Each structure stands twice: as structure tokens, then as C-alpha cells.
Amino acid sequence: MPLERILVALALLLFSVVFPRTGAGTSDAPEGVPRCGDGATAGALGAGDPYFPRYGNGGYDVQHYDLAIRYAPASNVLRGIATIEALATQELSCFSLDLNGLRVGSVEVDGLAAEWSRTTQDLKITPAQPLADGAPFTVEVRYRGVPRPFVLPGTTIPSGFIHTSDGFIVAGEPESAATWFPVNDHPTDPATYSFRVTVPAGLQVVANGVRERVASNGDRRTHVWQVREPMASYLATVDVGEFRLRFDETGSGVPLIDAVHRDLGHRVDDALARQPAILSFLESRFGTYPFESVGAIVTHSRKLGFALETQTRPIYPRWYFPGAVPVIVHELAHQWFGDLVAVERWQHIWLNEGFATYAEWLWSEDRGQGTTRERLRDTFDGIPAEHPFWRVVVGDPGPDDLFHDAVYTRGAMTLQALREEVGNVAFFDTLRAWNETNAFGTGTTEEFIALAEQESGQQLDELFDAWLFTPRRPPASAVSGSTEP
């Protein structure tokens, strides 16, 4: 997500809605108190992220989400059946899913009716029989309602499920999915997805992955999309509207699927035509593109205030175009840094944003628009030592500064400083090894530092302390190195 489009630090606000009791055997339990049998083992409320303690849940590992959705644009009502395949990672007599603002009709676990209760953020489920550690199980949740987006603090900018004039778009970070389906909403629990979305016949549906089929049923059509590689929940998107879908492929044979709203005409064509070249360039630096398809979603809605690296198909607002090439580089770089390798905890966000920003620098360098070394020096010299920019601890910025400019720009500066210290060979070997070692998993800053030291044979604590963990500008000597040719 490009920082310059975020107007304030992102700490998503949840709507304080108390959900009425629905269905027999359910109640509104006090916030933070799971409803479990006496002496039972409860899945944790939260994935253990210190920045966002209630994001995600513990006790199970989701394998696959099958989301059958019917959407009525006129009323903005979404009806869904979420079928979730998971493995218990401990003995479970109850567990939770994240779900905001939608009413639950029924819950089943392994085909049997389950007790459930709601708090503002959580759907707490008690199956008819406890689940054994390591046991596979299936949850079916039927739900409906008008999805409510999150809001960026201090603004009216929506995030998550966003209603548009002819449908909706989904984009948000660090939490998004819980606005439109029940989910374990944290990057540490990626899963594969099936989307079966039924909408009026005049509308198109675009999502992550590949489109398998479109089936007609009277005045409605069901669009089926599949995601076969694991995906963090905040990267999941389904978008409905008057899109023009274009099916092509890159030079290396990767399916290229673009969805552009009809209102935008051809103003986006030139920038999107650069995607194969951008992808080829990024592969030369980071390794083979990791997913089964690639492309873009460009919305006409003025409500979207940022671009986002939704897996395989980043979403962009209209106002980036026609000069959108740098942001396309940024979002496609995230397919490696952020999507293929997710953050273990949100404090490590520079591993996403610093790397995607540095990819922009690499692209500019390759196009003869100044070297990355010059970019480091110019940026360093252009920000006075007393500027608040330098007070952000990039390696642990805190939730209010998660998307601060420093996380992006000082993160990229850190990578250039590393490149100058260890040389081109060790630097790019480190980036490729990072993606190979952590593919479809997560990573931390400490793990990246250890890998850089392993690949370079150097002790790098001083460099990373100066750039990532010190709330002041590094000494001028930190930018006096040179990059080997």
C-alpha cells in the first residue's frame, strides 16, 4: 500500500455495535470471555499480535475458505455461506472467528448445529463435540446484512468492504476480511479460497486467482474464482461492478487478468500495458513470480483512498492514472514482499513497505532515472536531522505509525545502506533467499537480519540498529559507502 496515499496513520477503528441475540442457544457473552464448557480448552481470542491483540484467533489453522455470496446492489445486502476447512492445533471445545457488522443465522461444525455467541468483533463457536488436537473439521456459517467498512482514524476514508455506485470493492490493511465474511483475520493463518459470487446479470465479478466459470440462472449469474496458493486474509478481494475484463498472458505465460471499470475508458491502458515488463524486471531481482495469475483491478469509485497489493490482482483507484507505473511497480513488488512472504507480526511492516518502495528505486535506476545510491543520498540530505521523520523506529513503529512515511522511505534507505555495505551479489542473493526460504509463510526483522549476515558473512547489527531501531538520523558516514558495479 503506497504510503503517500494514506492521509493518517492506519489503526483501523472497529464499529462499536452490540449484536442482538439470534438463534436458539446463543447469547451475547461479555467482551473477551469465550463461552466454553467447564474445564474446556478455548481457542485464544487473538493471534498474539501485540499491535492488534484481537486480530485473528488461536487454536486452529484454516486450510480453505469456500465463500458462496449473493449480493443485491440496490439494497447493498450481502448473503453468505462460509464453509471453512481447518485443523485443530490444540484440543478445542470452543473457538472464535472474526466477523464485524453482519448478522449470523446459523453455525454448524462437522454437520452438527453448534452454539454460538457474538461480541463486537468475535463470533464464538462451541461445537457439539470437542475437537481433538490435530483433527480436521469443517465450519459452516450462514450470515447476512449490509457490510460496514472500517474507517481510517481521523478521516472518513473507508477501508475493507466499500459500497460503490454499482456494487462494491474490497481493500484494506491490516484488517479487511472480517467486514464481509467470518475469518481468522491475521497474516499468520493464510489459506486457499473459492469465491462463488451471484449478482445481477449486468454486472461483472473479479477476484483473486483465476476465473473458473460463469453460470447463468435467469436474471442472475454466478461467477466462480479460485485461489490455489495460500493467501493472507487481508489480501482477499471480491469486486462487483461494471468492469471490463481483459484476459491475456505475460511473456512467460502467466495469465494476465485486468478488470477496469467501464467509466474509465482507455485512460489506464498504457500504464497497465507495462505490467509484463515490470513483472519481468522484478523477477530478475527477486526470483520467479510466485502465483498462478497476475493483473490489476481499477475502480471508478472515489471512495478508495489508496492502492493495495491484493494477491495476484492489486487494486488501484482511478486517480493514479495515467501516470501509475511507479505504484504498479510498488504493488507488484508486494507479490513477493508481503504476499509470498507475510509479516509474522505487524511491527515488521517495513519488510513489506520498505521493500516495495525500494523496488520503485530499482525500477527508476534501471530506466536511467538516477541510481539507488543517489536516491539514498538525496533523501538523506533532504530531510533535516531534527525532522520528526527520523524519530520513527522503523523496525517497531507502533500501530499509530504503521504506515508512516518513514516505514516506506527509511525502510528503502535501509536496504540501500545494506546493499552498499555487503555488495550487489550478497544483497540480491539475500533477497532471493528470503523469498525461497519463507515462501507462503511469514518472516520477522530478526530473521531477515540473520539471513543477510549469513549471505554476506558480515556482522550487521550496527547497520540495522542505526537504520531501523534508532529514533534519530544515522550519522553521515552511514551513506558514504559505494555500491560495487
The predicted-structure confidence for 148-170, as pLDDT tens digits, reads as follows: 988 754 456 788 999 999 999 99
325-381 residue pLDDT tens = 999 999 999 999 999 999 999 999 999 999 999 999 999 999 999 999 999 999 999
Note the pLDDT of residue 9.
36
Q: How far is CA 202 from the centre of its chain?
A: 29
Q: Are residues 359 and 443 in the same domain?
A: yes
pLDDT-derived band of residue 482, with 50, 70 and 90 as boundaries?
Answer: very low
Identify the band that residue 481 occupies on the pLDDT scale cut at 50, 70 and 90: low
287 plus 314 within the same structural domain: yes
Q: Are residues 120 and 140 in the same domain?
A: yes
**What's the total number of domains in the chain?**
3
**pLDDT tier, 15 (very low <50, low <70, confident <90, very high otherwise):** very low
Task: State the pTM of this model.
Answer: 0.91
| Residues 6+ positions from 260 with CB-CB distance below 8 Å | 243, 244, 246, 268, 272, 296, 298
> In this structure, are strands 238-241 and 204-207 parallel, antiparallel, or unpaired?
antiparallel
Answer yes or no: do 313 and 180 share one domain: no
Task: Summarize the confidence of residues 10-27 as an average pLDDT.
Answer: 33
Based on the domain organization, do 148 and 87 belong to the same domain? Answer: yes
Report the pLDDT averaged over residues 118-130: 92
Given this model, what pLDDT does residue 33 score?
41
Give the per-residue pLDDT at 441.
Answer: 97
- What integer pLDDT is reported at residue 39 of this predicted model? 43
Which positions ≥6 away from 73 have C-beta within 8 Å?
166, 167, 168, 199, 200, 203, 240
User: Does 200 lie in the same domain as 121?
Assistant: yes
Asked if residue 413 belongs to a domain, the reply is yes
Residue 7 pLDDT more than 60?
A: no
The sign of the torsion formed by the CA atoms of 292, 294, 300, 305 equals positive
The pLDDT mean for the chain works out to 90
Is 20 among the domain residues? no
| pLDDT band per the 50, 70, 90 thresholds, residue 89 | very high
Same domain, 114 and 164: yes
Q: What is the CATH number of the domain that holds 454?
A: 1.10.390.10
pLDDT at 119: 86
In a shared domain, residues 255 and 231: no
Q: What percent of the chain has pLDDT over 90?
A: 85
Total residues belonging to the chain: 485
Mean pLDDT of 194-201: 98
Domain that holds residue 71: 48-240
Among 223, 240, 257, the domain-final residue is: 240
Domain membership flag for residue 41: no
**pLDDT at 428 > cutoff 50:** yes
The CATH number of residue 126's host domain is 2.60.40.1730
What pLDDT, in 10s, does the model give residues 272-291? 999 999 999 999 999 999 99
**What is each CA distance from 58 to 46, 62, 263, in whole angstroms?**
6, 11, 44
In a domain, 292, yes or no: yes
Section 447-470 average pLDDT:
98
Residue 439, pLDDT above cutoff 50: yes
- Give the separation between CA 446 and CA 452, rounded to whole angstroms: 10
Angle CA(302)–CA(233)–CA(338) in degrees, nearest 5? 85
Q: Note whether 471 and 376 are within 8 A (CB).
A: no
Residue ending a domain, among 240, 258, 275, is: 240
- The answer to whether residue 40 sits within a structural domain is no
Mark whether 110 and 204 lie in a shared domain.
yes
pLDDT at 159: 87
Residues 410 and 445 in one domain: yes
Do 120 and 139 share a domain, yes or no? yes
